[in-house]
Structure 1
Amino acid sequence: EDGHRMRFKVNDDEAFVLKDGSTYKYGEDKFRKIGKEELVPDKDGEYFRQWRPQIKSPDDIWQEIIKHSKFPGLTSAPKLQPIQTRLIMLSTGMRAPMGIKVFGPDLKTIEKVGFELENILKEVPSINPPSVFADRVVGKPYLEIKLKRTEMARYGLTVNDLQKQLVTVIGGKPLTTTVEGRERYPVRIRYARELRDNPDDLKKVLISTPSGINIPLEEVTDIQYVRGPQMIKSEDTFLTSYVIFDKKEGVAEVDVVEDAQKLIQEKIDKGEFQLPAGVTYKFTGNYENQIRATKRLAIVIPVSLIIIFLILFFQFKTITASSIHFSGVFVAFAGGFIFLWLYAQPWFMNFEVAGVNMRDLFQIHPINMSVAVWVGFIALFGIATDDGVIMGTYIHETFEERNPQTVKAVREAVIEAGAKRVRPAMMTAAVAIIALLPVLSSTGKGADIMVPMAIPTFGGMVIQIMTMFIVPILQCFWREGVVKKNESNI
């Protein structure tokens, strides 16, 4: 009601109380459809749902569909939305985010290899077995009409004459065009549908001969069903078939492909799986984008860190001071990974506030390393030094103003400067942390990208608050060393 889930009254046995005075408890009472108008609204009651206890999300429903499906390949394909499917098909040519392309010289051979790969992939621990499906390349029934050339010669029929008559009988032959106002329609002549719907009827179709005699089609042809390809696909001049599959929840796509490659190679080495001559295969899917992005990130991330260090160096003019403030990056980096680890733990945030489960609110589930996660780390690197710079800049200004010459004076200056910058540093970190909360709890379009980006940034900023203590300590240690060195020189 008004966009909010309604609660309904329950009794002490947790059975729903109906307006007619009866009760209903799912799982114990006989199943029947209960409408909203039969229930008693109660803000302190429970949500009414008639799903089995293990069904808690759309993914759970999909898994049940796969489990009970009797049509292989029809519903066991990975769960994809229409636009998502279109994008995947444009990038990979398949209707699944992961799969194997089998290349070979003929359709029957690649179909056989596809079936063998299907059985092997079902043994991979990280692959969801019901989602594995190999293309049924050869299996569509075709109606084949073979010409009896000897019998045709007896009646004086040529191949061209017979083919023209078959085209007219089955497909129809345009004779003329009728004009109806601004519209044009072809006038086509052919046998009525009831006279050509099945092979037995086609055998009785009359064929005209040059002598003027009409003979049944079965006298000059053999009509039979044969198995043929459902679709002929090719890439790089090779015939192709697909074996699609999907990963289990919580497993990275790259890891799934590596596991599958390892198992297939083991089967080949043991002689349990042999590739016929001329047949090859390769894995394809979204994981290829991940590999390409990883190679780029191997360059982008070091460059980003170098740029951040150079900016700090231009600010503080010394390698030591820049390194001290740069330490905040490593603290935040560790914080990001800690938060990713927490997201994979079943106990993390597993409590309710005002009836709302925090795990559901913040969509807490295992997050695999992806491009979005690394982009979040890059964003984290850029803001991880903020607290340290705020703290270190004021300490630097204090030392320039006082120029302490003793260890005690150095410590007093560091403590005083650090104490005055605790509040600004906390405000800086709090702004970033609070700003990310709506992103972490977001749903809908784009959330699958934004949430993984925000997790390392959020976790890094939470842990990065420690730099308020680390930077002053390192600054004090460094400047004490400078003072002691000056005293020893005197």
Structure 2
Amino acid sequence: MISRLIHWAVASRLVVLLLALALMAFGGYAFVNVNVEAYPDPAPAIIEIIAQFPGASAEDVERQVTIPLEVALAGMPGLDTMRSQSMFQLADVRCQFEYGIENKDARQEVLNRLTQVALPDGVQPVISPESPTGEILRFTLTSPKDANGRDIYTLNDLKSLLDFTLERRFRRVPRIIDMGSYGGTMKRYEIRPDPDRLRRYGISLAQLENAVAAANRNVGGQYITQGQTVQVVRGLGLIGMGLDPMEGALAQTDPVAAAAYLRSEENKRIREIREIVVASVNNVPVRVGDLVEGGPLAANDPLGVDGVVVGFQSRLGRVMFSEPVLDANGAEQLDSAGARVWRDHDDVVQGIVLLRKGEPSLPALADVHDLVDQLNNTPGALLPGVKIEPYYDRTGLINMTTETVRENLFHGMALVGIVLLMFLGNVRTAVIVAINVPLAVLVAFAALYLRDESANLLSIGAVDFGILVDSSVIIVENIYRRLTHGDDSSLTVKERVLHASTEVQRSLMFSTAIMVCAFLPLFTMQGPAGQIFRPMAHTYAFALGGALLLAVTLSPVLCETLLANVKPKPDNVFVRWLSRSYQRQLKLALRYHFVSLGAFVIVVGLTMLLLPFLGREFMPQLEEGNIYVRGTFPLNASLDEASDRTRRAREVFKKYPEVETVVAQVGRPDDGTDPTGFYNVEFYLPMKPHEDWPIPPGMTRARTKEEVVDAMSDELDAAFIGINWNFSQYIRDGVMEAMSGVKGENSLKIIGPDLTQLEAVANDAAAKLAAVPGVIDVGVFRIMGQSNLSFAIDKEKCARWGVAVDDVEDALETAVGGKAFTTLVEGERSFDLVLRWPESFRSTREEILDIPVDVPANVTPPGGEPQVAATESTGPEAGMSVTGAAISLPSPLGSAESGGTNPLNQAPRRRLRDFVTPLDAAGRLDAQGSFVQPGASTIYREEGRRLIAMKFGVRGRDLGGAVAEAQQALAPVIKPPLAAEWSGEFEQMEQAEQRLKLVVPLSLALVIVMLYLAFFSLRDVAIVLANVVTLVCGGILALLVMRTNFSVSAAVGFISIFGVAIMNGLILVSSIHRLRLGGHTLEEAVMEGSVARLRPMLMTILTAILGLLPAAVSTRIGAQSQQPLAIVVIGGMLMSLLLNQHLTPVLYYVFRRKPPSNDAASLAE
């Protein structure tokens, strides 16, 4: 087939050239328009379900929400692993599906199951839009300052603008699935009733709720017919008429005026709420203002902070942002001590733009940038003076990594061109070979574009140009040698080109097929390794196939066109010198063949001895240009306490001149998309370009990133005793958390049913794990330690007073947490309207125990005696102020002091303490027990089993060795019925290695079969495979010398040189066979065949080395993941250059004395 293709190409020279031009045009178009990612997404479809259960403890969330969700979601088709977290008022369930399941299919399956789950009232499970690599842009909303330097807009204003305006705009951007928010406060309107006033007027909380809710709604009255027209009948009763104050503010041009307008509109609604009539006493209306803290206000009285106020929902997190102060020229300002001056923003509103899984990021980012520019520059799009300021943009990382690839490609191609020119000594010949490199790359880009696949750092940067030019080197070198040596001079140039091309076509076909077999492990990788390296395998296959096609079509055509007037001439001086030197060396090697064989044995033996010292890891870290730091404070830390500690840690990071900005996140977003508590703080530290890093005093160079991280870690450990810190990178942190379910690069999960036992064992295990050399940042994800103020409802006490449990719980829920009973509509925005006791009634345990509870079902008639005696703690049974005061409250005009017209005034009022009983250590009612109970902070589950997780990192040592030693150290600690599972990067490495152990031998067996079909001789197969052994030894020794761990990236390098080694050995052996069948003696055939193949073999070796040399030595962002591959290729090829040029001829000379058959020589025909 290849022979016919070559004949067609030479006969259709114009068609081939036109097709090459078309390839250049379309390939160039694809090169410009194909999507490029910095790193492939290694995660499968992960669907995260979030359910918020306001006010519920971790134990209640687990029992009532998490377990029902797990039961409903179990058994879904393609479900691989289910993990969950239950914490204060939040359940988070992550369903990880098998690779190959489409994200949309998994999402739909989850949605179908969610319709079948029964959860407590008010709990609505939703699917999180986030994905491990989906965050492509983060920004903050900045408020303008007034004359005193204070923010003009409130956090409520900015949060409302973000959630109700910007989120909807960003979600309309193609490929964007959602926009999350973090920080700020969510506005709500609060009615703070005064219990004494409610009692005085005989108004219950239910009456107050119903009255306000009834005064806040619109109704429809169908329609009426007016002549030939229809008019819709509406009743408009919404508070504020449902109008949106934000619209009026957006129309302003002055920030101060806009903020004043918003405050005035809020005040109008507050006054309107105060005027709502709840009841009527003696024809005198009782309004909300009469019942709230502070009492009624006159029309002109200013609104205070009591009664009815604009507040915000309970905060779950906070975002802080710090940036250096710049002067007019954009340079950083320094203080008198030479330190940078920083501007701190202690409470900002942050937006997170999320990419739909599987969508290309560059087009999406371009559209997002356009929208940001439009919003920032269009009057009325944002509040006056407010700006969207991105601080994280995936475009920067993509541009930096692609620039690294382009730089390595350019340098590699230049070096390859120099090698070709050195060996061929003819510019036109070198151009013919070199032109196949960019054209083969364009073939790959065209295929990626047509398949709608993305290119990335690994898939493009790992392509070795030396391998791409191998096929064209073999054909063009053979044509050039035939033309310059005067072979077949009686034939025309066209005939000589055809003869020289077809002469090597069979060996070329076999070697290319074998190379494809060598790449089979890449195509069969599964899991994270498959997600990462399968695109590279596709790209390699496209480029390799394109190179072969170009070698048998375009190369012969260009040779016929450009080399038609080449005259017979000897090789250039350099090649002649190499040939003479090689001849002398080869004669000595054949004469003293035991030396070459001994060297081979020594290399193999040395490699086997050193192999145990080769470290293992999954993948070298892709340098993202940032540091992501995670700290864990005490579990019961409040938001304010965690924020104070965060500010202290922020000061540590601001000392480092390598850090560009400091962004801190405390707690979690309001929507629960990042399940954690106030104890969790995360710092995003974008770094300056490395060339801008200063040289510290006492050093002669800038610090490495590892040195910066070590210094930060030491300083944080000294400043925060007992606090655990973890260092990673932004994307990597998210991917590792998604894959293992734990916030850390590696994790150990201890599985068991008892939370207390799990935490005790984890503490022992953590101490032993931290003692393992190389293991750092050990931390236990605590599951206990969140104290609960538990008020157990005593049903006997409730029965004594005729009170339902629900009545007591409703009073507790409303008083402390606030109960949302209706919604205030403002245009397209909606905000909760809640009832909540004033803070003076709910700040301490004793104040909560004094919360009044009405007892309307147990009325003591006038003059009667109560059946339950008054106590010192509860006071008299009736007519008592909740504060214990005996002073009568003022009565509304015309009402009676006794309030006898309202039965509630006659009902005895008790307090919460009359209906609750403390608990003992076992959780049973016990009057001598305590209301303060230890409780769970976060309950982790996986596959329906409870667990405790420990995270750790490895620095200064290989991951595999560190975990192996840790497993031995922890074996005596974790005993049945407990079980241990190691997750994260180590688990992925183990899975990839197990897969390679299975697939690589199968691939090798297939290669052996093909080699046998090529030679029909096991000895020939063994001679060729010996070439592979030396290259593998060279790659291993190179990793050891460069102190680089074995990783999947390095394994890809071994696979790459595997095919090249077999191709070189196959062509050399077949060339010797042809000479022996032509009548040459064994020694003559070995000498002549080896010398004849010297130039093409050296060219393939050197081009392979130089093609990846820039990647091996590059220190730019993105080069780290290429370096193990490049080191292996260069080391293996150097070993081939030093040893195999002599080893293969010697092995043939010693072990292939018997003449080959005609079938064995057919490759050279």
Short-chain TM bin:
0.7 to 0.9
* CA shift in 2, pair 1:161/1:457, >3 Å: same
> 2:941 and 2:339 mapped to 1: Cα distance?
53
- Aligned partner of 2:706 among 42, 59, 83: 59
> 2:1064 and 2:974 mapped to 1: Cα distance?
60
Listed as ranges, the matches of 1:7-46 within 5 Å are 32-33=337-338
Report the Cα offset of residue 73 of structure 1.
Answer: 7.5
Per-residue CA deviation, residues 431-467 of structure 1 (Å, 9 max, x unaligned), is 1111111221345665443222222222111111232
> 1:34 and 1:321 mapped to 2: Cα distance?
70
Partner of 1:113: 761
Amino acid of the structure 1 residue aligned with 2:338: K
> 2:339 and 2:712 mapped to 1: Cα distance?
23
Partner of 1:199: 845
Partner of 1:217: 912
> 2:937 and 2:961 mapped to 1: Cα distance?
33
Listed as ranges, the matches of 1:160-199 within 5 Å are 160-199=806-845
Query: Is residue 81 of structure 1 aligned with residue 729 of structure 2?
Result: yes
Partner of 1:333: 1032
* CA shift in 2, pair 1:92/1:398, >3 Å: same
Query: Is residue 306 of structure 1 aligned with residue 1005 of structure 2?
Result: yes
Partner of 1:470: 1143
> 1:478 and 1:118 mapped to 2: Cα distance?
58
Contact preservation (8 Å) 1:390, 1:424: no
Contact preservation (8 Å) 1:304, 1:378: no
Contact preservation (8 Å) 1:105, 1:278: no
> 1:111 and 1:52 mapped to 2: Cα distance?
45
> 2:1033 and 2:828 mapped to 1: Cα distance?
74
Query: Is residue 370 of structure 1 aligned with residue 1065 of structure 2?
Result: no
Per-residue CA deviation, residues 56-101 of structure 1 (Å, 9 max, x unaligned), is 2222222233333254785532x22232222222221112232221
Contact preservation (8 Å) 1:134, 1:243: yes
Partner of 1:379: 1056
Contact preservation (8 Å) 1:387, 1:467: no
**Superposition RMSD in Å:** 3.2
> 2:702 and 2:1108 mapped to 1: Cα distance?
30
The secondary structure found in structure 2 opposite 1:132 is: strand
Identify the range of structure 1 (100-109 vs 202-211) with the bigger mean alpha-carbon deviation: 202-211
Contact preservation (8 Å) 2:1039, 2:1046: no
Contact preservation (8 Å) 1:391, 1:417: yes
* CA shift in 2, pair 1:92/1:73, >3 Å: farther
Report the Cα offset of residue 193 of structure 1.
Answer: 3.8
Query: Is residue 426 of structure 1 aligned with residue 1075 of structure 2?
Result: no
Contact preservation (8 Å) 1:384, 1:460: no
Per-residue CA deviation, residues 379-402 of structure 1 (Å, 9 max, x unaligned), is 11100134334433333333333x
Partner of 2:985: 286
Report the Cα offset of residue 479 of structure 1.
Answer: 5.8
Partner of 1:94: 742
The runs of 5 or more residues in structure 1 that have no matched partner are 1-30, 36-45, 345-366, 484-490
Identify the range of structure 1 (46-55 vs 470-479) with the bigger mean alpha-carbon deviation: 46-55
Report the Cα offset of residue 149 of structure 1.
Answer: 5.5
Report the Cα offset of residue 107 of structure 1.
Answer: 1.3
Per-residue CA deviation, residues 158-185 of structure 1 (Å, 9 max, x unaligned), is 3232122222222334444444444444
* CA shift in 2, pair 1:136/1:176, >3 Å: closer
* CA shift in 2, pair 1:93/1:73, >3 Å: farther
Contact preservation (8 Å) 1:173, 1:188: yes
> 2:806 and 2:1085 mapped to 1: Cα distance?
105
> 2:755 and 2:1009 mapped to 1: Cα distance?
60
The secondary structure found in structure 2 opposite 1:229 is: coil
* CA shift in 2, pair 1:214/1:167, >3 Å: same
The secondary structure found in structure 1 opposite 2:941 is: strand
The secondary structure found in structure 2 opposite 1:453 is: helix
Query: Is residue 256 of structure 1 aligned with residue 962 of structure 2?
Result: yes
> 1:240 and 1:335 mapped to 2: Cα distance?
45
The secondary structure found in structure 2 opposite 1:94 is: coil
Partner of 1:350: none
> 1:337 and 1:217 mapped to 2: Cα distance?
74
Report the Cα offset of residue 244 of structure 1.
Answer: 1.8
Amino acid of the structure 1 residue aligned with 2:938: M
* CA shift in 2, pair 1:159/1:287, >3 Å: same
> 2:845 and 2:974 mapped to 1: Cα distance?
41
Report the Cα offset of residue 262 of structure 1.
Answer: 1.4
Structure 2 length as normaliser, TM-score? 0.32
> 1:87 and 1:434 mapped to 2: Cα distance?
34
Amino acid of the structure 2 residue aligned with 1:237: G
Per-residue CA deviation, residues 216-254 of structure 1 (Å, 9 max, x unaligned), is 434544684332111111223332111222223232x33
Report the Cα offset of residue 468 of structure 1.
Answer: 2.0
Higher Rg:
2
Query: Is residue 461 of structure 1 aligned with residue 1133 of structure 2?
Result: yes
Contact preservation (8 Å) 2:740, 2:983: yes
Listed as ranges, the matches of 1:124-135 within 5 Å are 124-128=772-776, 131-135=777-781
* CA shift in 2, pair 1:458/1:154, >3 Å: same
* CA shift in 2, pair 1:52/1:171, >3 Å: farther
Contact preservation (8 Å) 1:127, 1:245: yes
Structure 1 length as normaliser, TM-score? 0.73
Contact preservation (8 Å) 2:695, 2:703: no
* CA shift in 2, pair 1:392/1:191, >3 Å: same
> 2:974 and 2:1025 mapped to 1: Cα distance?
55
Report the Cα offset of residue 215 of structure 1.
Answer: 4.0
* CA shift in 2, pair 1:303/1:146, >3 Å: closer
Partner of 2:933: 226
* CA shift in 2, pair 1:445/1:301, >3 Å: farther
> 2:1008 and 2:796 mapped to 1: Cα distance?
89
* CA shift in 2, pair 1:71/1:108, >3 Å: farther
> 1:133 and 1:386 mapped to 2: Cα distance?
51
Identify the range of structure 1 (279-288 vs 325-334) with the bigger mean alpha-carbon deviation: 279-288
Report the Cα offset of residue 482 of structure 1.
Answer: 5.3
Report the Cα offset of residue 317 of structure 1.
Answer: 4.0
> 1:444 and 1:231 mapped to 2: Cα distance?
41
The secondary structure found in structure 2 opposite 1:96 is: coil
Amino acid of the structure 2 residue aligned with 1:393: S
* CA shift in 2, pair 1:48/1:76, >3 Å: closer
> 1:479 and 1:278 mapped to 2: Cα distance?
62
The secondary structure found in structure 2 opposite 1:99 is: strand
> 1:113 and 1:278 mapped to 2: Cα distance?
12
Contact preservation (8 Å) 2:974, 2:980: no
Partner of 1:142: 788
The secondary structure found in structure 1 opposite 2:982 is: strand
Partner of 2:944: 237
The runs of 5 or more residues in structure 2 that have no matched partner are 1-335, 341-691, 860-906, 919-930, 1157-1165
* CA shift in 2, pair 1:399/1:33, >3 Å: same
Percent identity, aligned pairs only, is: 25
> 2:805 and 2:769 mapped to 1: Cα distance?
49
Contact preservation (8 Å) 1:174, 1:189: yes
Amino acid of the structure 2 residue aligned with 1:438: P
> 1:51 and 1:133 mapped to 2: Cα distance?
33
Q: Which structure has more RCO (C-alpha within 8 Å, separation ≥ 6)? A: 2
* CA shift in 2, pair 1:176/1:469, >3 Å: closer
Contact preservation (8 Å) 2:740, 2:747: no
* CA shift in 2, pair 1:380/1:153, >3 Å: same
Contact preservation (8 Å) 2:695, 2:702: no
Listed as ranges, the matches of 1:316-465 within 5 Å are 316-344=1015-1043, 367-401=1044-1078, 403-404=1079-1080, 409-443=1081-1115, 447-465=1119-1137
Partner of 2:994: 295
